[in-house]
Amino acid sequence: MKVLVYSAKDFEIDHLKKMNNGKHKLKFVPETLNATTAVMAAGYDAICIFSNDDASLVVLEILWDLGVKYITLRSTGYNNVSVKSAKRIGLKVAYAPEYSPHAIAEHAVGLALALNRKLIQANVQVQQFNFLLDNLIGSEMFGKTVGIFGTGRIGSILVKIFHAFGCKVLATDIQRNQYLENHYEVEYVPLEVLCQQSDIISINTPLTYETHHIFKESLFSTMKNGALLINTARGGIVKTDDAIAALKSGNLGGYATDVYEHERGVFFKDNGKSGISDELLKELIGMSNVLLTPHQAFATKEALERIAETTIYNIDCWEEGRTCKNELGFQTITL
């Protein structure tokens, strides 16, 4: 099968080539998929895309007219794909559901620790030979209340990690996980209650119509003063303007995020020479109580291998006419 791999990055190409082992004709291009670059897929049976590629209705229609029949994602989230439209048109879409929940969960904990103990600020200070502790006072995790918004694969791992720290764990999800309740003393509560009682809140839910901008002014105003918010899910779940206002007012003590709602076209690029024009992102980065990483939570050797393995598996299934277990219908994913 001829496959065009959009948004190909140097660190993942070798993994994909190794897993493919010459079975399919893969072409790697750095361009992201959008209405303009979709024409590059002419003559290809399938395309492979990443989370920042645009697979909206207009793009899907162009791809179908060009003869593309299959789309495989190198990500768990698929909010960038109009799945219903793809099914109606006739395009088959598959994703990478379980490449490494541990990678995401461990990054979330790292963000929480770094923000809480001011590790980035400490590193900057000592590089300037400043060894004062006045601005580096943090808090212990032990005894704190941690709220997990979404107890799927990633959220469940976070429950276990924070429980091991000696934290009380609250959770919000559509479905309760009885195993977590019985073995880790998790208490399921409404999101508003979770925000009112938690010292640290971790977002681990998909971006959907219901969760888009669910963290906004009305929710920030209910939080404990000084609470920390950790986001390794999707940027659009947090309304950035309101988060900045909450950080300034003190309703939110700190925000550590691996994602940003307007990251398309900015992340996964070196903008050092050209700079960025997004004033909101500039303001966010410039705040002392914000820690932002460039959508790197998934970036482990183990995760990249599993993504490549799943990607080739999806293509193999279509090539061989087999049922692909990762093909999307209308099921909801669980982070």
The pLDDT of residue 16: 97
Note whether 140 and 179 are same-domain residues. Answer: yes
* 333 belongs to a structural domain: no
The pLDDT of residue 100: 85
DSSP 27-87: EE--PPPSTTGGGGGTT-SEEEE-TTS-B-HHHHHHHHHTT--EEEESSS--TTB-HHHHH
The pLDDT of residue 201: 98
* 267 belongs to a structural domain: yes
Residue 193 burial (CB count, 10 A): 15
Note whether 110 and 15 are same-domain residues. Answer: no
Interatomic CA distance for residues 48 and 53, integer angstroms: 10
Note whether 141 and 236 are same-domain residues. Answer: yes
The pLDDT of residue 334: 43
Q: Decide which of 292, 311, 329 is a domain's last residue.
A: 292
For residue 67, what are its two tokens? Answer: 């003869």
Phi-psi region of 224 (alpha: psi -120 to 50; beta: other; left: phi over 0): beta
The residues that are catalytic are: 234, 263, 295
* 325 belongs to a structural domain: no
Q: What is the DSSP letter of 135?
A: T
What length does the chain have? 335
> Structurally, how many domains does the chain consist of?
2
* 326 belongs to a structural domain: no
Note whether 112 and 95 are same-domain residues. Answer: no
The pLDDT of residue 220: 97
Note whether 106 and 14 are same-domain residues. Answer: no
Note whether 120 and 79 are same-domain residues. Answer: no
Note whether 134 and 75 are same-domain residues. Answer: no
Note whether 94 and 239 are same-domain residues. Answer: no
Domain residues for 221? 101-292
* 184 belongs to a structural domain: yes
Note whether 105 and 91 are same-domain residues. Answer: no
Note whether 230 and 93 are same-domain residues. Answer: no
Note whether 109 and 248 are same-domain residues. Answer: yes
Angle of helix 301-320 versus helix 10-20 axis, rounded to 10: 50
* 60 belongs to a structural domain: yes
Interatomic CA distance for residues 144 and 69, integer angstroms: 50
The pLDDT of residue 98: 79
Residue labelled with tokens 């002419």: 42
* 208 belongs to a structural domain: yes
**CATH number (domain holding residue 218):** 3.40.50.720
Q: pLDDT (tens digit, 0 to 9) for every residue of the chain, 335 residues total? A: 999 999 999 999 999 999 999 999 999 999 999 999 999 999 999 999 998 999 999 999 999 999 999 999 999 889 899 999 999 999 999 999 878 899 999 999 999 999 999 999 999 999 999 999 999 999 999 999 999 999 999 999 999 999 999 999 999 999 999 999 999 999 999 999 999 999 999 999 999 999 999 999 999 999 999 999 999 999 999 999 999 999 999 889 999 999 999 999 999 999 999 999 999 999 999 999 999 999 999 999 999 999 999 999 999 999 999 999 999 974 444 44
Q: Is 168 exposed, middle or buried (0-12, 13-18, 19+ CB in 10 A)?
A: middle
Return the closest-CA partner of residue 234 out of 279, 285, 295, 284: 295
* 85 belongs to a structural domain: yes
Note whether 39 and 89 are same-domain residues. Answer: yes
Phi-psi region of 312 (alpha: psi -120 to 50; beta: other; left: phi over 0): alpha
